[in-house]
Chains A and B, each alone.
Chain A
Amino acid sequence: MRSYAAQRAVLAIVQLAVLSVLVFVLTTLLPGDAAEMRFTETLAPEQVERMRAQLGLDQPALERFTQWLGNVLTGDLGTSLISGGPVTDIVRNSVGATVVLTLATLAVVVPLAVALGIVMGTRENGRLDRAITSVTLALSAIPDFVIAVLLVAVFSLKLGWLPATWIGGDLLASPVLLVLPVAVLFGRTVCLLSRQVRAGTITALQAEYVVQARRLGVPRRRLLVRHVLPNAAVPGVQELARTGDTLLGGVLVVEAIFAIPGFATALVDGVETRDVPVVQGLTLVLAVAALVINLGADLLCNRLVPRTELLR
């Protein structure tokens, strides 16, 4: 187990290094640089030139990258080319909203998806199974922004029950701000997650040990909780790790629609203003988070159902 984790950690470092190079190269390939992005027809080209020199953007790309890498290795994510403040500040200021949003979504979607998955799995191809499948499939098929616009139109603008945006809102004072964004993200993730649990349940129910346990007269509830669920959970947990990625894509849309000042908003901002250190810093943090989540999911699966081949 320990050597497996170590192996994964080494792989993770290689992945991060490759990712950093990729992100740097791709952002550098975008037309324009941070100095030009300040060119809003208010700054004369001559001023832009001076700014470029001041920001060090006239240095060769390789030099800029090695400098950045050197800083990162000493724990310094660098300085934003646009705001002039430390990148860590931008990470810190934007991560909160996204984490709260993600955790709130998971808190809703995980129990519900597991419950739905088990209900569907134990009634394979029954009427209820098909009904739940249709609804969750429809939710995942409709684009987020459509769901979001519909929800806002009905619950905010027409009925006036829920706030339409986070503008001027304070999450601590009004947690109700979370309702609509979480509802949209729920629609995006519930289908896949519940289908994985459903599949796991069906497989587990057909497994010999379950059939045997049933023959031996193990009560249904005990059978489900003690024997079926841990096995059914494996694809679910792995899917959950992938849900993280899916959520991030959805968070971007949701953050834009509800004006949530989160991670995705900061990232889009960084790309649009060619603020390379910010883009680099944010993707690095994001990649580390994704790696940790995936690693955690693998290790958790191993605990749920120990698989010897992984332990070698």
Chain B
Amino acid sequence: MSDALNRRGFLGLAGGLGLAGGLGLAALTGCGSDGRAAAQPKQGGRLRAVYAGGGAKEVLDPHVQSLFVDIARHKAMYEKLVELGPDLKPVPRLAEKWESDAQAVTWRFTLRDATFHDGSKLTSEDVLYSFARITDAKVPDRVAQSSLATLDLRRSKAIDPRTVELTLSAPNAEFPAVLAGIGTQIVRDGFTDPTRPIGTGAFRFVSFDAGRSMVATRYADYWDGPARIDELHILSADAEARANAVQGGQAEYANDMTATFARTAEAGRTVRIVAAKASTMQAFVMKCDRPPFDDPDVRMAFKLLADRQRLVDVVLAGRGAVGNDLFGKGYQYYPEDLPQRERDLDEAKALLKKAGLVNKEIEIFTADASAGFVESATLLAEQAAEAGVKLKVTTGSPQTYAKDLLTKGVIGNHRSGAMPIPQYVTDRLLTRSPFNVTRWLRPEFDSAFAAARVLTDEAARSAKYGELQQTLRDEGGILAWGLPDYLIAVSAKLQGVQAVPPNTLDQGRFDKVWLA
């Protein structure tokens, strides 16, 4: 038994247990393949992939998706016009190419020669129907409604069966990326019953049981080359059950694993960790419209007092990189030339003294809503104490934290998954953004961003975005301290798994993997 149960193995399990549940961290950047030279791809077999479950919240309707497990299931069966590459840049999918007019208002997409699972060809009518279904105001839970708010369907039309013209009510050079967002899948014209999925994806639907499993089989007529595996099971389970399943041989792929588990797994031989480096973001968010963080000096002081390396070492168990107070490192439009922010206690103290905050108490609002939130808040409190400010940690309800933080508190925790940088800005950093958690309300920032987003020249757009991001890094309310790795555990016989950020095309590409 001493051999059977070494201390390390046991602690690993216990750690997994402690971190069970919780929301998945999303996102990553950094790419590359999973390291080992793979043998010749093999045909056949059954692949079982386990994701964090959502119980009765899990849905088959691709336009209602929000959980990773749903996204993975829908991805197996449905496709979008556009997908995101490893750097979150739009890449063609069901649309093989696109072009816009000079104003970025009218967009023409040329469709690929793809076939639905019922044998019918993909046409422009399917595309128009899909977007009409998504934007149907009578059904509030279709997630892409707000991102597609400027799509004017009355002025959009089918040019021919393989060319569709989409017209916007406001110009947007980022429109292809919007079509790669969640909940934008293309369904069959007339699709009304989500319980009988018919898509163009690599797998055909067999069965679904919310909170438990979905089974799908290989679609032989898939346009991008049929999958190698015959059968795909996408299962739901919380963190420690995922760990046990992949180690015990009951699953070949486990999504979103903890750093503790990765350490245990790497000590053994049955499981391999595929890590997409620095792919998500962990940050503290300060509300720029409330004291004391309405003072830019105080925001800067906090950015300077944080010991990022220590936060990464302790909270992320070293599996991640330090952040530089900006979202999207490694993604398209990220200004790579900015210097890394370092800890400067003296400067922080001076700024805090200037603001009259020395020995004052500030509340930090946190919750066990995502792995590492409470731990990082507690650690930041220690680091703030070294600069002479007392941070009092208050804990809220995990389930409502994301919403509560929009209105409550002055500083709190924030994480973000992978998404294109303009989308992040649109969702969180404009005066009218639905998730403006830092209360960054600057009309001149809004108009500068709007002006940049209509530029059809990518280089010009990128330069403008770069300036805006520099402003954000120095004056904004985001203290991005860490960029966690996104960890996937795969069984030793599963090959071809790519280490890319979630929400990108090559993550969870079960049509490209094989069982050795």
Contact = CB atoms under 8 A, between A and B. Distances in A.
Interface of A: 30-32, 36-48, 50-51, 54, 80, 82-83, 90, 93, 145, 149-150, 152-154, 156-160, 163-165, 167-169, 256-259, 261, 265-266, 269-270, 272-275, 278
Contacts of B434: 44-46
A36 B67 contact: no
Interface string B1-30: 100110001100110010010010000000
B399 A164 contact: no
Contacts of B143: 42-43
B399 A149 contact: no
A154 B145 contact: no
Nearest to B145: A47
Contacts of A93: 209
Given A167-B237, A269-B57, 9 more contacts: A41-B427, A43-B140, A45-B434, A46-B434, A50-B140, A153-B13, A163-B250, A164-B250, A273-B56
B66 interface: yes
Pick from B55, B211, B400 the residue with the most CB of A within 10 Å.
Answer: B55
Nearest to A43: B143
B393 interface: no
Contacts, number: 158
17 contacts: A30-B397, A31-B400, A32-B400, A47-B141, A82-B55, A149-B10, A156-B248, A159-B4, A164-B248, A167-B48, A256-B20, A258-B241, A259-B241, A269-B211, A270-B56, A273-B55, A273-B399
B55 A157 contact: no
A12 B241 CA distance: 38
A260 B397 CA distance: 26
Q: Interface size for chain B: under 10, 10 to 19, 20 to 34, or 35 or more residues?
A: 35 or more
A257 B211 contact: no
B145 A44 contact: yes
A156 B397 contact: no
Contact of A40 (B10, B17, B248, B402): B402
B419 to A, nearest CB: 10
Nearest to A146: B14
Nearest to A272: B399
B9 A153 contact: yes
Contacts of A258: 241
Contacts of B66: 38, 40, 42-43
B17 A90 contact: no
Contact of A47 (B140, B248, B250): B140
B55 A39 contact: no
Contact of A168 (B1, B9, B211, B213): B213
The DSSP consensus for interface residues of chain B is mixed
A165 to B, nearest CB: 5
A37 B399 contact: yes
Interface in B321-335: none
Contact of A269 (B56, B183, B233, B245): B56
A149 to B, nearest CB: 5
B17 A39 contact: no
B182 interface: yes
A36 B5 contact: no
B120 interface: no
Contact of B244 (A46, A47, A152): A152
A44 to B, nearest CB: 4
Contacts of B250: 163-165, 167-169
A42 B248 contact: no
Contacts of B471: none
Interface in B221-243: 233, 235, 237-238, 240-242
A266 B182 CA distance: 27
B402 A153 contact: no
B403 A36 contact: yes
Nearest to A274: B399
Nearest to A52: B140
A269 B397 contact: no
Contact of A157 (B67, B182, B248): B248
A32 B399 contact: yes
A165 B13 contact: no
Nearest to B270: A157
Contacts of A36: 400, 403
Given A31-B399, A36-B400, A83 B145 contact: no
Interface centre among A41, A160, A269 (most CB of B within 10 A): A41
